[in-house]
Structure 1
Amino acid sequence: MLFRSRSPSPMSSPSRSTIPPSSPHRTFCESLMDENIDTAQSLIEKWDSDNSSAPSLFHGDDRQEAKQYLNAVKVLQSTMHVVISKSSGSEKLVRAQILMEKAMKRLQKEFYQILSSNRQYLDPESVSTHSSRTSTISSFSDFEDELEDGLRATNESISEMERVSAAAMGDLKAIADCMISAGYGKECVKIYKSLRKSIVDEGLYHLGVEKTTLSQIQKMDWEVLEYKIKNWLNAVKVAVKTLFYGERILCDSVFSTSDSIRESCYSDITVEGATWLFGFPEFVAKCKKSPEKMFRTLDLYEAISDLWAEIESIFSFESTSSVRTLAVNALVKLGEAIRIMFADFEAAIQKDSSKTPVPGGGVHPLTRYVMNYLAFLGDYSEILSDIFADYPLSIQSPLPEAYFGSLESSDVSSSPISVRFSWLVLVLLCKLDGKAELFKDVALSYLFLANNLQYVVAKVRDSNLRFLLCEEWVAKHEEKVKNYAANYERVGWSKVYSSLPEDPTADISPEETKQCFLRLNLSFEEAYRKQTTWVVPDAKLRDEIKISVARRLVPAYSAFYEKHREGLSRKRGSESLVRYMPENLANYLSDLFFGDGGVGQVSSASSSPSPSSHYRGRQSR
């Protein structure tokens, strides 16, 4: 209590005139104590805080006098302990205590000035950048050597801001060490907490982090909430990696001699802002779920997961455990929300009840929606693997048991998330099987299945889904596309193929020849008329189907035509009987699968009329 006296007696005012003259009875220890107090008094009074014209002790690059001042305070403190232990007189003790009060007042002022005047150099970004280049200064006595040797050695790579930041951190640490050692840590900590909390709060404000409640979040339109989520995703990285990290470095450096003080400071400065920051994603997770919110929810989960190591390290104190708990709870709630939305997405596929056939047998809107959704989800495969790690797929579906064998016998990776993706694709394909039955034309049903499965395979192949479903899955379903296309060709062109004899070069009667040409004309015109309104969106599949039909039809017709054209040329009316030149059949085929019912580019450039125009001309005659 003697050390913290704030109101010394006026009669005890320190003055050299009150010191008794030396006497032969004084011991060497007493003389040394008097000398130490005299030395401290000369420096302390020189830098008395009441002298408003006195410059800063820590001004410029020269720290010699600052070092002497702090050493004098340490010696004064040691002397006071000796005075008490020796009971050498209350006058010395009171005199030393008054000097200590003046010294602490001065250091308190210096501490405030360094914090406030170097604010731009002590911002978390500068501190965190500096920490990556130089080690934290261990003590003020080593400061001059480190500043002179270490910073000079890296003079070419270190910036002026980093140099000033390092110097200011060293000054603050030196003052804090001295004040804490002298029993004045409370005054030092009060200044530090006040100034640094304002900087952290201001930094969070500029990042757009604000205090929100669950009711406020739940009342927001999704567009507004999505904007806030985007802002939060940008803010959390800066807040953790720069703001909170830099503040932790500064706090650890300034108060490195006291674990309890640096914990108290950091907790009081950051916990409130960190609570606002990490409370937001948990509120989002508690909002109404829907599949379109899946991706932003995954972004929130991924951001916290990626930053977890830093969060755990920066907020490692017991007093900041609430921040760690908030972050963990946010991950748990976000994970639950994502699993619910995943289940809702599957249910939405199974509940789709649209009964309108897709025009031309093209790609169904459900196929586009589901596969685009899954392709985007594939980008989050690692996060989803973490979320579903302890949640194996439990199938509760109205699908026939025959479909389950397709999943069990698939070559999909056995990871839980891969099985889930495979299952969702299977659910889609089953729905498409049902929608194929809506077409009255069997050939068009097969073409519809080929188109949609081709779209599914293409989406898998061109996204991260190929790593989840594997190459064997892709190869197996590419083969299914070919089977669907072959079935389409078999059903859709069987009449055309069968209109020609099995052996096109065989000798047949003129009447049989005539009937063959008539059957081919009718069947080809019927197939052409229907299939010009059908569509194959995938260019590669479209060409493969056309080439396959052409290879089967054109050579056979050409051989038949060459065999019988001389005999037909001698008969009247043969011009109307032979409507197609062999070389033009491929041009007619090129019109197919564009879905416009018109003429394609190749045949429109041809001099021969289209089958439809032949048909209309025959009817008019």
Structure 2
Amino acid sequence: MEENIENARSLITKWDANQSPYAKLTPLFYGDRQEARQYLNAVRDLQSAMRYLVVLDSTSRKLVQTHLLMQAALKRLEKEFYQILSSNRQHLDPESVSSRRSSTDRRTSVSDFDDDYSEDESREARSVAGSSISETERVSMAAMEDLRAIAECMISAGHGRECVKIYKIMRKSIVDEAMYHLGVDSRLSFSQVQKMDWEVVELRIKSWLNAVRVAVTTLFYGERILCDHVFAAASEKIAESCFAEICKEAAMSLFGFPELVAKCKKTPEKMFRTLDLYEAITDHWAQIESIFSFESTSAIRLQAVSSLAKLGEAVRTMLTDFESAIQKETSKKPVPGGGVHPLTRYVMNYISFLADYSGILADIVADWPLTLQSPLPESYFRSPDNDENPSSEISVRLAWLILVVLCKLDGKAELYKDIALSYLFLANNLQYVVVKVRSSNLSFLLGEEWLSKHESKVKEYVSKYERMGWSKVLSSIPENPTAAEMPAEQAVVCFRNFNVEFNEACKKQSSWIVSDSKLRDEIKVSISSKLVQRYRVFHEKHRVGLRRRSGSDSVMRFSPEDLDNCLSDILDVGGDFVVRMSHSVTAIAAHTSSKTCSRNRGNGSSTQFSTM
């Protein structure tokens, strides 16, 4: 014992900064740390000696001297502990610690203070490990081992409070600084968020989404690893206490921000950022639970759960308000040309974006049954394809929202005085809905049966438009023009009636549009197949006979090719339709008699268009 005390005195005195300029400038834990190991062993020997002396004679001079020696040693270790934390901020930052975890899990950690290794064995192990880790990792691992060794020695010597205090102060400053750089404001209150413009709040949300990813996967994770490592041999309670005090304030601020946003006024444009916040927490929930598994950090877990609950409530409120807004839309002005209504575009774009969050929404609406404000059965909007789909509840809710807007469009179709145009309006809008569904995640959610049913409805609307818009033109030509002979006078009347009706139909539909190019082409082909073929037969049957009659050839104003040219220009989107139609009329006029052509040219193209 005497020998151990003397050896300890020699070593401790050597590293006493008050007695040695060298010790004042040189770290003890430097280089291969052989002497640092000896220093820690000397402190342990002093501790054993003090226990023996207390039992032998608690008032002996030797005990007092040993105690003073121990105080000097612990003061030196306290300084070393602070210096290691301070000088290795870069190597002990949470990102380095957390990224290194995966590599250290696959390798045996080499400690200069592991008594199970001889010096030669330790050197050999360090050499093997050194071949697969970077210099930064090596420095970081050494610093962590130094801190653990010092913490264990100081805590076992009853000097843990000073050690823990230094650790908490140093590491909390790092966490707080990191949160500041991530844009997390711990002083932000609900009243401040409530007064902000939404654009400002949205910028803060974007910043938060990045911050929560970094904080959970790197910052808090790295601090938990470091705490557990440094105090592993000392006490789990100490590790828990340190981690909780270092991270609690920052974590509470981080996970409290979504709740502040959720409590603000709900409007449809806030839906997607609210879902982003919800998704970010749920995506990291397993890590949050693991990192903050201590009882002392349960408040952090509860704050994250509370934010999820508030965000879910906000989303449900916004969905309800969104449906209500569709039903309350009161515009009375028909869309020009029977095109796609702005309400259709807005609602379908909104719903297709919602479909991208179907997994999150399914979780939010799981315990929120759909309450219908209508006697319609679910078969109107529920597809059997989705009965076994895990997202069936959100599928039903989205299908219901689409049904609400379609019902609204039925009412808006009544604003058109022309019935054919009202059906064209319905076809345009339902086609937009179908295309939007098929080209988005709604296709998966609503299913093929839903799509087939609504595609059939589009064809039904188109069929009604064709019947109402072109029936007079078709009826002006005999349904079976080759069935029986027709007197020339009657044929002349038919051609004249056809000219009037065809001109009227083209004139009326000059401003009508079909936005979807595929549907537009299908409609043109359909009209052409019904009209041009019948006209071609009738035209060929009477063309020669009527031209023999003086002045009668002028009633055949159109050739079958002329009809195709005119039909190719109807329902196009854009303002150049009338110009193109005028060009078509000019071309058609070239096929008439010279007398008729002269008269029409004299009257101008607009007259030609109106009397065609």
TM-score norm. by structure 2 comes to 0.91
Show the counterpart of 1:28. none
SS in structure 1 of the partner of residue 113 of structure 2: helix
Q: How far has the Cα of 1:79 moved from its partner?
A: 2.1
Relative to structure 1, is the Cα distance of residues 157 and 373 closer, same or farther in structure 2, using a 3 angstrom cutoff? farther
Within-5 A mapping of 1:413-562: 413=387, 415-506=392-483, 507-562=485-540
Show the counterpart of 1:110. 80
Q: How far has the Cα of 1:129 moved from its partner?
A: 1.2
- Note if contact 2:566-2:581 (Cα within 8 Å) is conserved in structure 1: no
- Note if contact 2:110-2:122 (Cα within 8 Å) is conserved in structure 1: no
SS in structure 1 of the partner of residue 103 of structure 2: coil
Unmatched runs of 5 consecutive residues or more in structure 1: 1-32
Match among 61, 68, 78 for residue 48 of structure 2 = 78
- CA–CA distance in structure 2, aligned partners of residues 338 and 84 of structure 1: 68
- Note if contact 2:382-2:399 (Cα within 8 Å) is conserved in structure 1: no
The range that moved more, 76-85 or 232-241, is 76-85
SS in structure 2 of the partner of residue 593 of structure 1: coil
Relative to structure 1, is the Cα distance of residues 264 and 409 closer, same or farther in structure 2, using a 3 angstrom cutoff? closer
Match among 14, 22, 28 for residue 53 of structure 1 = 22
Relative to structure 1, is the Cα distance of residues 477 and 602 closer, same or farther in structure 2, using a 3 angstrom cutoff? farther
Amino acid at match of 2:87: S
- CA–CA distance in structure 2, aligned partners of residues 466 and 619 of structure 1: 46
- CA–CA distance in structure 2, aligned partners of residues 318 and 525 of structure 1: 83
SS in structure 2 of the partner of residue 518 of structure 1: helix
Show the counterpart of 2:596. none
Q: How far has the Cα of 1:325 moved from its partner?
A: 0.9
- Note if contact 1:49-1:102 (Cα within 8 Å) is conserved in structure 2: no
RMSD, matched Cα: 2.5
- Note if contact 2:585-2:609 (Cα within 8 Å) is conserved in structure 1: no
Relative to structure 1, is the Cα distance of residues 80 and 446 closer, same or farther in structure 2, using a 3 angstrom cutoff? same
Q: How far has the Cα of 1:150 moved from its partner?
A: 5.9
Show the counterpart of 1:406. 380
Relative to structure 1, is the Cα distance of residues 562 and 72 closer, same or farther in structure 2, using a 3 angstrom cutoff? same
- CA–CA distance in structure 1, aligned partners of residues 128 and 589 of structure 2: 87
Query: Are positions 1:239 and 2:218 aligned together?
Result: no
Query: Are positions 1:381 and 2:358 aligned together?
Result: yes
Show the counterpart of 1:608. 588
Relative to structure 1, is the Cα distance of residues 56 and 601 closer, same or farther in structure 2, using a 3 angstrom cutoff? farther
- CA–CA distance in structure 1, aligned partners of residues 95 and 425 of structure 2: 58
Relative to structure 1, is the Cα distance of residues 154 and 610 closer, same or farther in structure 2, using a 3 angstrom cutoff? farther
Query: Are positions 1:190 and 2:165 aligned together?
Result: yes
SS in structure 2 of the partner of residue 134 of structure 1: helix
The range that moved more, 601-610 or 292-301, is 601-610
Amino acid at match of 2:498: L
Relative to structure 1, is the Cα distance of residues 523 and 233 closer, same or farther in structure 2, using a 3 angstrom cutoff? same
Show the counterpart of 1:6. none
- CA–CA distance in structure 2, aligned partners of residues 379 and 617 of structure 1: 53
- CA–CA distance in structure 2, aligned partners of residues 554 and 222 of structure 1: 57
Relative to structure 1, is the Cα distance of residues 560 and 479 closer, same or farther in structure 2, using a 3 angstrom cutoff? same
Amino acid at match of 1:333: K
- CA–CA distance in structure 2, aligned partners of residues 620 and 566 of structure 1: 24
Q: How far has the Cα of 1:360 moved from its partner?
A: 0.3
Show the counterpart of 1:4. none
- CA–CA distance in structure 2, aligned partners of residues 618 and 394 of structure 1: 55
- CA–CA distance in structure 1, aligned partners of residues 488 and 124 of structure 2: 110
Within-5 A mapping of 1:72-221: 72-87=42-57, 90-135=60-105, 137=109, 141-142=113-114, 152-153=127-128, 155=130, 157-210=132-185, 211-221=187-197
Q: How far has the Cα of 1:409 moved from its partner?
A: 6.8
The range that moved more, 261-270 or 339-348, is 261-270
Q: How far has the Cα of 1:43 moved from its partner?
A: 1.3
- CA–CA distance in structure 2, aligned partners of residues 358 and 221 of structure 1: 33
- CA–CA distance in structure 2, aligned partners of residues 459 and 416 of structure 1: 20
Relative to structure 1, is the Cα distance of residues 442 and 276 closer, same or farther in structure 2, using a 3 angstrom cutoff? same
Amino acid at match of 1:240: V
Relative to structure 1, is the Cα distance of residues 470 and 104 closer, same or farther in structure 2, using a 3 angstrom cutoff? same
SS in structure 2 of the partner of residue 59 of structure 1: coil
Q: How far has the Cα of 1:501 moved from its partner?
A: 0.9
Relative to structure 1, is the Cα distance of residues 241 and 58 closer, same or farther in structure 2, using a 3 angstrom cutoff? same
- CA–CA distance in structure 1, aligned partners of residues 560 and 330 of structure 2: 46
- CA–CA distance in structure 2, aligned partners of residues 248 and 225 of structure 1: 31
- Note if contact 1:139-1:173 (Cα within 8 Å) is conserved in structure 2: no
Amino acid at match of 1:131: R
Aligned length: 585
- CA–CA distance in structure 1, aligned partners of residues 467 and 188 of structure 2: 64
Q: How far has the Cα of 1:166 moved from its partner?
A: 0.8
Instruction: Spell out, residue by residue over 1:184-220, the C-alpha distance to the aligned partner (whole angstroms, 9 max, x if none).
Output: 1111111111111111111111111112111111111
Within-5 A mapping of 1:320-335: 320-335=297-312
- Note if contact 1:176-1:185 (Cα within 8 Å) is conserved in structure 2: yes
Show the counterpart of 1:581. 559
Relative to structure 1, is the Cα distance of residues 619 and 300 closer, same or farther in structure 2, using a 3 angstrom cutoff? closer
Show the counterpart of 2:548. 570
Amino acid at match of 1:346: E
Q: How far has the Cα of 1:89 moved from its partner?
A: 7.1
Identity %: 61
Relative to structure 1, is the Cα distance of residues 262 and 147 closer, same or farther in structure 2, using a 3 angstrom cutoff? farther
Amino acid at match of 2:102: S
SS in structure 2 of the partner of residue 580 of structure 1: coil
Instruction: Spell out, residue by residue over 1:279-299, the C-alpha distance to the aligned partner (whole angstroms, 9 max, x if none).
Output: 111111111111111111111
Show the counterpart of 2:228. 252
Relative to structure 1, is the Cα distance of residues 72 and 294 closer, same or farther in structure 2, using a 3 angstrom cutoff? same
The range that moved more, 317-326 or 90-99, is 90-99
- CA–CA distance in structure 1, aligned partners of residues 565 and 611 of structure 2: 25
Show the counterpart of 2:594. none
